[in-house]
Structure 1
Amino acid sequence: MNIKNPIPIDNIGDPYILYFEGKYYLYATCHFNGYYCWISENMNDWKEPVVCYEATDKSFGNSCFWAPEVYFFNGKFYMYYTAQWKIYKEEALRIGVAVSDKPEGPFEDVLNEQPMFDFGYGVLDAHILKDGEHNYFYYSRAGADHYVNGAKESEIYAVELGEDFISVKGEGNLILRPEQDWERIYDGEKQFWNEGPFVMKEEGRYHMMYSANFYASKHYGIGCAVSDNPMGPFKKYENNPILSTTDIISGPGHNSVVKALDGKYYCIYHAHTYYDNPSGDRQVYITPLMFQSGKIYMEHPRLDTEQ
Structure 2
Amino acid sequence: MRDPFVLAVPSGGFVLFGTTDENLWGGPATGFDCWTSDDLVTWDGPFPAFRPPAGFWADTQFWAPEVVAHGGRYVMLATFASTDPAAGPRGVQVLVSDQPTGPFLPWSEGPVTPRDVPCLDGTLFVDDDGVPWLVYSRGAEGAPGGPPGITDGEMYALRLADDLAAPAGSPVLLFRASAAAWSKPLWFPEGVEPPEQLNLGKDPLFTDGPCLLRTEGGALHMLWSSFGEEGYAIGVATSPDGEVTGPWHQRDEPLWARNGGHGMVFTDPAGGRHLVFHWPNDTPHERVVMVDVEVSDDGVRLLGDPTGA
Q: Same fold (TM over 0.5)?
A: yes
Q: Following the alignment from structure 1 to structure 2, what is the Cα–Cα distance between the partners of residues 143 and 115?
A: 19
**2:226 paired residue number:** 212
1:290 aligns with 2:294: yes
TM-score (norm 2): 0.83
Relative to structure 1, the CA distance from residue 293 to residue 208 in structure 2 (aligned partners, 3 Å threshold; closer, same or farther) is closer
Gaps of 5+ in 1: 1-11, 246-250
**1:198 paired residue number:** 211
Q: Following the alignment from structure 2 to structure 1, what is the Cα–Cα distance between the partners of residues 86 and 285?
A: 25
2:251 is aligned, of 228, 232, 237, to 237
Letter of the 1:200 partner, please give it.
L
Contact 2:3-2:63 at 8 Å conserved across structures = yes
2:19 is aligned, of 29, 42, 46, to 29
Contact 1:60-1:96 at 8 Å conserved across structures = no
Contact 1:62-1:83 at 8 Å conserved across structures = yes
Pairwise CA distance, 1:107: 0.7
Contact 2:219-2:297 at 8 Å conserved across structures = no
For each residue in 1:41-63, what CA deviation from the matched residue of structure 2 results, as whole angstroms up to 9, or x when unmatched?
A: 11111112101101122422111
Relative to structure 1, the CA distance from residue 218 to residue 294 in structure 2 (aligned partners, 3 Å threshold; closer, same or farther) is closer
Relative to structure 1, the CA distance from residue 50 to residue 299 in structure 2 (aligned partners, 3 Å threshold; closer, same or farther) is same
Contact 1:84-1:93 at 8 Å conserved across structures = yes
Pairwise CA distance, 1:182: 2.4
Q: Following the alignment from structure 1 to structure 2, what is the Cα–Cα distance between the partners of residues 292 and 145?
A: 36
**1:92 paired residue number:** 89
Relative to structure 1, the CA distance from residue 237 to residue 292 in structure 2 (aligned partners, 3 Å threshold; closer, same or farther) is same
What does 1:148-163 correspond to in 2, within 5 Å?
152-163=151-162
TM-score (norm 1): 0.83
Contact 1:85-1:94 at 8 Å conserved across structures = no
Contact 2:91-2:115 at 8 Å conserved across structures = no
Pairwise CA distance, 1:123: 0.5
**1:174 paired residue number:** 173
**2:122 paired residue number:** 126
Pairwise CA distance, 1:300: 4.3
Contact 2:273-2:293 at 8 Å conserved across structures = yes
For each residue in 1:175-232, what CA deviation from the matched residue of structure 2 results, as whole angstroms up to 9, or x when unmatched?
A: 1211234211443650110211001111111101100129xx9511000011121111
Question: How many correspondences in the alignment?
Answer: 278
Contact 2:160-2:167 at 8 Å conserved across structures = yes
The one of the two structures with greater contact order (alpha-carbon pairs below 8 A, sep at least 6) is 1
**1:105 paired residue number:** 102
**2:187 paired residue number:** 187
Secondary structure at the counterpart of residue 190 of structure 1: coil
RMSD of aligned C-alpha atoms? 2.5
Secondary structure at the counterpart of residue 171 of structure 2: strand
**2:142 paired residue number:** 145
Contact 1:93-1:142 at 8 Å conserved across structures = no
Q: Following the alignment from structure 2 to structure 1, what is the Cα–Cα distance between the partners of residues 292 and 13?
A: 18
**2:7 paired residue number:** 18
What does 1:251-270 correspond to in 2, within 5 Å?
251-270=259-278
Contact 1:243-1:300 at 8 Å conserved across structures = no
Contact 2:289-2:307 at 8 Å conserved across structures = no
Per mean C-alpha deviation after superposition, the further-off stretch among 129-138 and 46-55 is 129-138
Q: Following the alignment from structure 1 to structure 2, what is the Cα–Cα distance between the partners of residues 302 and 111?
A: 37
**1:56 paired residue number:** 53
Contact 1:129-1:200 at 8 Å conserved across structures = no
Q: Following the alignment from structure 2 to structure 1, what is the Cα–Cα distance between the partners of residues 151 and 238?
A: 25
Pairwise CA distance, 1:151: 6.2
**1:7 paired residue number:** none
Relative to structure 1, the CA distance from residue 57 to residue 111 in structure 2 (aligned partners, 3 Å threshold; closer, same or farther) is farther
Higher relative strand content: 1
Per mean C-alpha deviation after superposition, the further-off stretch among 289-298 and 92-101 is 289-298
